[in-house]
Chain A
Amino acid sequence: MDKQIIERLRDIVGEGHISTSTAELYAYSTDAGIHRSMPDAVIRPKTTAEIEKIVKLANECLFPIVPRGAGTALCGHSVPVAGGLVIDLQRMNKVKELHIEDLYVVVEPGVIHKDLNAELKNYGFFIPGPSSGNVANIGGMVATNASGGNAVKYGATRDYVLGMEVVFPNGEVARLGSRTLKNSAGYQLEKLMCGMEGTLGIITEINLRIVPLPETTAVAVAVFDTLEKAGQCVSNIIAKPLIPSGLELMSRVCIQAVNKAVCMGLPDEEAILLIEVDGSTNDVKDQIETVMEVCKSSGALSVDFTDDPERKEELWKGRKAMIPALSKYDDDLVTVMLADDMAVPMSKVPEAVKAFQEISDKYDIIIASYGHSGDGNLHTKVLMDPTKKSHWDQAETAVEEIYEKVMDLGGTITGEHGVGMTKAPFFLKERQCSLNAMKTIKMALDPNNIMNPNKIMDWEGNFISHLRYHLEEE
C-alpha cells in the first residue's frame, strides 16, 4: 500500500485514526486464534460515511480490507492474510436507539455485548451472547453468528438480528431486513450477513431483538460413572420436554485438571453435568424437580441443586476454573485453539466425546473435552508446545480425525466460533455441496475480491499456515 493511499485514508478519518506503526501492525496481525499475517495499515473509522469512502478507495486501488471488532475471534477471521487494511470498528460504539416496547434496539457494530446488556438490564431485558461477551463487539458477534452456553434455550446471534445497515464491497450503503419481529419480504439478506465473517460487507448498524431477563435461575450438578449415562441424561432432559438455559458437560480430563490446578475436590468420575434452568420462581422450582428426577433415573451417582446465588457461583466455579486449570496442567504445554467448537446432534455427544478421548490416546496428545452439551456443542482444548513441529504434526492428524468423526456423526465443524482460516480446510469438505453457491454469491457482491479475501471457501491448503508461533529446534 503506497504512501499516497495512506494519505488519502488519513484524509478520510483524520489524524490519529490511522497507523502504520510497528506496534499497531503487529498487534492487529493476529486475533485470538493461531495465525498471524501483517497488515499494511490499521484504520479506525467513526461513521458509515467514512467506511463508504474507505471501501470505495479499496475498490479503486484494489487493496484488501479486513473488518475487525474486538479481535476476540478464534479462527483467524480478522487476520489480514493477504495484507492490506484492517478496519477496527471499536470507535463505532453507540447504542443508538432503545425501543423496549417494540422489543428491539439499534446499535453500532463496536458496542460491547456486556455494555448493551448493562443498559438493557435497567428495563429487565437482555440479548444472549458468547462467553467473551464482556469484550466481544456486537458487529463481530453478528459477523460470526456467535453464541454461548445459553444457546440451547436462547439460540445464536442470528436469531436476534432483525435488520442492519451494511456497506457492500462496492461501497454501496444498503439497509437490510426490518425493525419488525416478523418479516417475509424477499431474500433475508440480513441473515446472510450472519456468519459471513467480513467477506461480504461491513456491518455499520444493527437492529437486534431483545428478550426479557428471567426472574431467577437454579443449577443442578449431576455426577456420572460413564459418559454414555451423562449423554443419555442430556437427551432424557430435552425429551422430557425441558429446555434448560445451560447444560454443560465436563469429562474426566477436565475434572482432573480442575482438581489438580485449583483443588476443587470435584468427584473423580467420568462425567459431570451442570444443568441450569431459568424462569419465574415457581417455574424454576418445577423445572429443577424434573431435572433432579431425570438425572436420578438416568443413573446419576449423585445429584444436587441450589438456587442460592453464592452456592450457584460456587457450583459454576469448577466449570469456570477449567480453562486456567488446563493452561496450568503441564509446565511445558499450553492450550491452543484447534478443533474447539464442533457441534453434533445431542444424542451423539457421548459417542463424540469418547471418540475424542480415543484420538487423544492414539496420538499421545492431551485433549480435554467439555461443552454446551444441551445443544450438542463440544469444546476441545489441545494442550501442546506450539513451538514444536512434532506437536503440530500430531495435532494436525488428531484434529483431522476429530472433524471426520464429527462429520460422520452428522455434526458440523463449528457450532459457534466460525470458520476463518483454522477450520477452512475442513469446512471445504463439510460444505462441498454448497461451495459453488457461496462462491457465486461472493463473486457477485465482491467482484474485486477485496473483502477479507482468501478465507472460508476461498482458503487453499492446510490450516497449519501463517502460524503466529515460531517453530524452534527440538
Chain B
Amino acid sequence: MRTDNLKNWKKELLNCTQCGFCKEICPIFDNVEWDSSAARGKMALCYGLYSGDIEPDESVLERIYQCTTCADCTRRCPSSTGVVEVIEAARRDIVASGLVGSTHQKIADSIATLGNPFGEEKSRKELFGEVPHPAKIAYFTGCSAAYRNKETSTAGISILKKLGVDYTLLDEVCCGSVLGRIGFSDDVIRKQAEANIKAIEDTGAEIVLFSCAGCLRMFRKEYPRFKDMSFRAMHFVEWLNEQEFDLKPYNRKVTYHDPCHIGRHLGIYDAPRDVINMIPEIEFVEMKDNRESARCCGGGGGVRSMFPEISRQIAEKRVGQAEIADVLLTTCPFCVNNLKLGVSETSTLEVRDLLELIDELLE
C-alpha cells in the first residue's frame, strides 16, 4: 500500500504512547469495544500500515474508517496527538492505493458529476429558484441543508429576509468535506474549493454565512491551503450574535449539542449559547458533556454512510444525555439528522436546528 501521506505524520505516529486515555471518550470504542476500535488502536494500525507491519486487509480498513473525526481523542490525549490528521492521511493513502469502498466511491462520483453527494440532479438555482447576484452577504447552504434538511436552509433564507438583509444564494457545489474525511486527495478537494471561492467572489460578497459545521470547517481550516479568500466565513449563529433583533418568548427547556466540526475543530462555543440566551423566557440547560468535551453525534467522518448501526448507537447515547430538556438544539444539519435517528419511539425529545427556532421566533 502507498504511504506517501502517512509518512508526513511520522512524528504524530510516534507521539502516540499508546497510553489508552482515549478509550475513555472514543465514541466508536464505546460501541465496538475491541481495542483496535479506540483511537489508540487506530493509531497502532496506522503505524502498522506506515511501517509495513500489516497489510490493509478488510479488518484493518474497517477500523480505519470507523472514526467520526470528532477529535475528542486529541482533547483527551496527554500528548495532544493529532489522531484525526493521521487517520485522514491513512485514508488518503488507502484511496490512492485504489482501496476505496464502493459506498464512498459512489459519493465521490456524485460530487464530481452533480456537485452533491446525494445523487441529486437539481442545481441549487433550480432548487431554490434564486439566481446569484452581487450582494454583501452570501448564504452557502451546503448540500445537507439544500437536499435533505431543506427546513434549515429555508429558515436561514427567511431570517435574512425578515432582517432585511441584502443577501444572495450561491452557485455552489459540495464543499468537499466528505471527500476529505473519507480520504480523497487534495487535488480533488481543490477543485471544489476553487469552484466555490469563484462562485462567492463573483457575487462580491464580504461575508459568507454557513449553517453546516462541516462546510464552515472546510472554508476556515482547509480552503486557505488552496487559495486566498477575500471574504469572511461565518457560521450563521456567529453572525446572528452580532445582530440586533427581537424574538418572541419561548417557554420550553432546551439544551445544545456542539457539532464537533465547529466545536473542537473551530472553537465556536459561545455564539450558539449567546443566541439561545437571547430568547425570552427560554430555559437553557447544559448536557453532562458539553463545549470542548461534547460527545459526538456519530454522523461524521464517513461513519454514517459505511456503518449506519454504529452511527445510530452513538447518536442514541448523545440523545440520552439530552433527555434533561424538551428540545435538543444544534447548528449542523448533519448532526440534526443523526441525532434524530437516536431518539427512541417513546421519547418526546424534539431535535431542531437552532436556525429553525430563531426563524420561528423572529418578529
Contact = CB atoms under 8 A, between A and B. Distances in A.
Contact of A327 (B15, B44, B48, B51): B15
Contacts of A26: 36, 44-45, 48, 53-54, 60
B348 interface: no
B59 interface: yes
B35 A27 contact: yes
Interface stretch (B18-26, B147-155, B217-225, B297-305): B18-26
B59 A469 contact: no
A30 interface: yes
Given A30-B44, A134-B24, A323-B79, A23 B62 contact: yes
A259 interface: no
A27 B44 contact: yes
Contacts of B79: 323-324, 327-328, 334-335
A132 B41 CA distance: 17
A332 B54 contact: no
A334 B14 contact: yes
Interface string A1-41: 00000000000000000010111101110111100000000
Interface string B47-64: 110011111010110110
A90 B17 contact: no
Contacts of B36: 23-24, 26-28
Interface string B8-33: 00110011011111011000000001
Interface in B76-127: 77-80
B20 A23 contact: no
A452 B7 CA distance: 35
Q: Among A26, A27, A33, A91, find the residue whose CB has the most chain B CB atoms closer than 10 A.
A: A27
Nearest to A86: B35
B38 to A, nearest CB: 8
A377 interface: no
Contact of B18 (A23, A31, A114, A327): A31
Interface string A123-154: 00000000010110000000000000000000
A199 to B, nearest CB: 21
User: 8 nearest interchain CB pairs?
Assistant: A27-B36, A21-B59, A23-B59, A327-B79, A27-B41, A23-B36, A470-B51, A72-B20
B19 A328 contact: no
Given A27-B44, A334-B15, A135 B54 contact: no
B343 to A, nearest CB: 26
A327 B80 contact: yes
Interface in A36-89: 42, 44, 70-72, 88
A294 interface: no
A323 B35 contact: no
A332 B51 CA distance: 18
B18 A32 contact: yes
Contacts of B52: 470
Interface residues on B, range: 20 to 34
B17 A337 contact: yes
B3 to A, nearest CB: 12
A327 B78 CA distance: 9
Nearest to A29: B44
A331 B15 CA distance: 10
Sort chain A's interface into a size bin. 35 or more
Contacts of A387: 10, 14
Contacts of B18: 30-33, 71, 468
Nearest to B76: A134
Contacts of A23: 34, 36, 41, 45, 59-60, 62-63
Nearest to A21: B59
A109 interface: no
Contact of A32 (B17, B59, B62): B17
A31 B19 CA distance: 8
A460 B15 CA distance: 29
A318 interface: no
B62 A71 contact: no
A360 B216 CA distance: 47
A231 interface: no
A393 B34 CA distance: 35
B11 A135 contact: no
Given A323-B79, A386-B14, A28 B57 contact: no
Interface string A99-127: 00000000000000010000000000000
A278 B267 CA distance: 36
A114 B14 contact: no
A32 B60 contact: no
Nearest to A321: B78
A116 to B, nearest CB: 14
A26 B60 CA distance: 9
Nearest to A114: B24
A22 to B, nearest CB: 5
Given A90-B33, A334-B11, 17 more contacts: A19-B34, A22-B59, A23-B34, A23-B45, A23-B59, A27-B34, A27-B36, A32-B18, A71-B18, A71-B20, A134-B24, A135-B21, A324-B78, A328-B79, A334-B14, A469-B14, A470-B51
B80 A328 contact: yes
B90 to A, nearest CB: 13
A24 B41 CA distance: 9
Given A23-B60, A23-B62, A132 B48 contact: no
Contacts of A32: 17-20
A27 B20 contact: no
Which of B18, B44, B53 has its CB near the most chain A CB atoms (within 10 A)? B18
A70 B20 contact: yes
Interface in A326-376: 327-328, 331-332, 334-337
Contacts of B15: 327, 334
Given A23-B45, A335-B17, A324 B80 contact: yes
Nearest to A134: B24
B57 to A, nearest CB: 5
B133 to A, nearest CB: 47
Nearest to A470: B51
B55 A22 contact: yes
Contacts of A331: 11
Nearest to B21: A135
A135 to B, nearest CB: 5
Given A22-B54, A334-B14, A386-B14, A28 B35 contact: yes
B59 A135 contact: no
Contacts of A33: 18
Contacts of A132: 19-21
Contacts of B51: 470
A135 B33 contact: no
B46 to A, nearest CB: 11
B64 to A, nearest CB: 9
A90 B23 CA distance: 12
A1 B34 CA distance: 21
Contacts of B62: 23
Contacts of B14: 334, 385-387, 469
Contact of B21 (A24, A27, A42, A134): A134
Contacts of B11: 331-332, 334
